[in-house]
Amino acid sequence: MAYHVGSEVGRLRQVILHRPGDEMTRLTPTNKDDLLFDDVLWLHRAQAEHDQFAHTLSSRGAEVLYLTELLTETLAVPEARTHVLDAVLDPRSFGKATADMLHAWASGLSDADLAGVLVAGVTKAELLAATDEKPSLYLRTLAPSSFLLPPLPNHLFTRDTSCWIYDGVAINSMRKPARMSETVNVGAIYRWHPRFAGEQFPTWADGAAEGAATLEGGDVLIIGNGAVLIGLSERTSAVGVERVAQRLFAAGAATSVIAVDMPHVRAQMHLDTVMTMLDPESFVRYAGFGPRDTLILRPGPRGGLKVSGHRASEFDRVLARALGLDAVRVLTPPQDALTAEREQWNDACNVLAVAPGVVVAYERNVATSEFLRGHGIEVLEVPGGELGRGRGGPRCMSCPVLRDPL
């Protein structure tokens, strides 16, 4: 199968999701901020909401792939298992004694149990209950409930750690420490899982190996016509955008990358929290975001870049020209300031297109959905009372790997 995502709105055929699991039971009022959540989730309800989300996608023709299942099947490949364990059980982090304990214990787990641990984490008490303790200053300094491997609740947002851009995938370098280990799991899947291992596709970014040149998938919109829109947000750096642009241009995979200046605030952490695409010529945009300054990157001589700056007043014209259109339609719900802020906080603009003009949205964002329907957009509503506590909507929770061409 040739994986390809050439737009934000082509009919969705295959998508990676992560059904929330035991990692969510590790969230507490004390650690939730470090783990980038605003509240603790009720797992049973969150799973029910996620199941309805997955059903909505599959009912519209998309094959749903689950991250934990992909990771389990990847760990059945000996080389992949060795790579993952070596990456997450680095003696430089734990000391040799504790790293050896963890490695011996993890090596004896089944593929499914190891996948569960890699996502849900393990505490000191859990390790000691399963293995014989060895002398370790590091272990002696930890409380029984301290995490040796931290939980990864943000795996829920599969968009960020990897994103398909035209005919290749970016395995992204994450800004926040709480998310950096996610790329180990995702990178192993793309490298060794039988579904992907036999395919030939370029890799536009290589996870933690990219260092501080961060790029997160929530900032990347594949708007089509060879153009990519990327937010310069609190999570995505200018160097990260330059790097992916140069690789795309060198491969002839894209003709322009439009970098969008963004506020560096949590409420607008990614471009897709304030702006997403509805059909080949339409966007929904949060009123508080508004038009923004842009920098357009194009291929330059001898592998370099050409960079041109454009004022905020030109934002919509920049989008239209990139798409080869006379104009784009930008739908901004006419809401009072309080309603607009509430709906944006609940990811009203973070919609996932499953086909041109058909999007999935949280049911709680009534005003925005009614406005979109009034402009001819079909809105498929899903619950998000628990899922939304991590500040991510349907687009955040999905990593398309195959869409139909427009």
Q: Which residues are catalytic?
A: 396
CA angle 355, 357, 358 (to 5 degrees): 60
Could you tell me which of 53, 119, 45, 138 has the C-alpha nearest to residue 397?
A: 53
Q: Which helix (H) or strand (E) holds 308?
A: strand 305-310
How big is the CA angle at 31 (ends 28 and 35), to the nearest 5 degrees? 110
**Torsion, Cα of 242, 247, 248, 250 (10° steps):** 120
SS3 4: strand
- The upper half-sphere exposure of residue 321, i.e. CA atoms within 13 Å in the direction of its Cβ, equals 11
Give the span between the Cα atoms of 384 and 132, in whole angstroms: 43
DSSP helix/strand/coil, 248: helix
Tokens 């006419």 belong to which residue?
334
What is the Cα gyration radius of the chain? Answer: 21
Helix (H) or strand (E) segment spanning residue 197: helix 194-197
Q: Could you give the residue ranges of the DSSP H alpha helices within 26-181? A: 43-59, 67-75, 78-88, 91-94, 96-107, 111-120, 124-130, 137-140, 158-161
The answer to whether residues 152 and 119 touch, using CB atoms and an 8 Å cutoff, is yes
